[in-house]
Structure 1
Amino acid sequence: MPPKLRGLIPFAEKWGIEDDLMREDMVAKHPEEAKELNEILHAYEDDFDAWLGGPEAKVGSNSAEYHAFSAMRMAADSA
């Protein structure tokens, strides 16, 4: 995980839900928080793209952090 993204760990713990239905339910139940998340993550777009679209994306077994941050980004995109 890039050091610049480590400050987002609390958000990933809350929003990094891998199950699509559960994640969408969370967004639906907390729309204002999801919009705030989207605004916060927007500042890190290039960092996310470099990490989540970089070499680790090609590895057969991604880290738990990779999955949580990917799911968190999907939640933000759904807001």
Structure 2
Amino acid sequence: MWRSATSYDSAHRPVGTVHPGTNYFYCQVERTQRETYGKWTNVWWAKTDDDSGNAGVFVSDVYLTGGKNDQPVPGLAVC
């Protein structure tokens, strides 16, 4: 992760935060919700455990290093 990001539960309600640095992601899914930050935008969301103590939440692939706009992050499994 290259910056802090809000984490969301499966109903897309904000629940916590994931801080920048090395994080573990289980997999990624394509969702109808779009996240945009500057020139980056994506509909892919990575499943993780956030830094607020929530398990199995999602953060936008926008904040993961290595992906392209509206594309999954290479090497991360699809859920």
Whether these two folds match at TM > 0.5 is no
TM-score of the pair, normalised by structure 2: 0.25
Higher helix share: 1
Higher percent of residues as strand: 2
Specify which structure has the bigger relative contact order, considering alpha-carbon pairs within 8 angstroms and separated by 6 or more residues: 1
Bigger Rg over Cα = 1
- Give TM-score scaled by structure 1 length: 0.25
